[in-house]
Each structure stands twice: as structure tokens, then as C-alpha cells.
Amino acid sequence: MEHVSNVDQLESIKSLQSTIGKLENALSKMTRNGANTTLVKKRLKAVYIGLAMLEHGWNQRPHHYTREELAEARHVITGLSPSIENSYAKSKAGSPQRTLLERRIKALELAVQAIDDHSAK
């Protein structure tokens, strides 16, 4: 994986942790409302895997994911990118929302790269 500064590593990990929190809140709310939770569960698992792969690559933390789970996570994370990039394009320059989205985009790109690097081994 490309060299990533300690600041970018920390921001990426925090960004994915924040994303996980948002997805867990959405899942809880949707479950209470009786809504279909399949997509949110799929996204939540993918982001968990992305976070685990970053921590594996940067902090040598072990992970227990199969090649199939990694491939599925990569597919789901890649599918998230267009909507996040669309929100980014609509956000105001210098706004906290834009900064958050920049960090989320970078974190998801790094997670995909970490999955690719691991899968190539």
C-alpha cells in the first residue's frame, strides 16, 4: 500500500469509525420502523471490513475475512463512492460537511486499496 502519513491514517480510521456509527444508527432506526435493512447491513459489514483491512495494513492487526468477503466488501465500498462524491460536489467549499466528505472519500479509497493489496498476496 502507498505510503500514507500518520495524520491521514488516523483521519481515515476515524472517518470509517464515524461511518460505522452512522450506519449502526440507521440500522437501529430502520429496524425499529420495520424497514428493509438488507442494504444497510451490507454496507455496514463492508465498512467494518474496510476498517479492518486498514488496521491490518497499517497496524498489523489480524483479520478473519475470507477472499469472498473481501471481494464483496470491495464491491459495496466502490458502489458507495458515486453518491458520496455527488454529495461532495454539492457541498460548499470550506464547510465542515465538505471536509468530512473529503476524509470519507479518501478513507474508502484507501480501504479499497488495502483490500486489493491483501487480495494480491
115 exposure class (CB count in 10 Å sphere: 0-12, 13-18, 19+): buried
- pLDDT of 1 reads 62
What lies within 8 Å, CB to CB, of 20 at 6+ separation is 44, 47, 48, 51
Residues 63-101 have pLDDT tens digits of 999 999 999 999 999 999 999 999 999 999 999 999 999
Considering the chain, what percentage of its residues have pLDDT values greater than 70?
Answer: 98
Residue whose C-alpha cell reads 460537511 in the numeric block: 97
Helices of type H across 60-95:
67-90
What residue segments make up the domains of the chain, in order of their start?
6-120
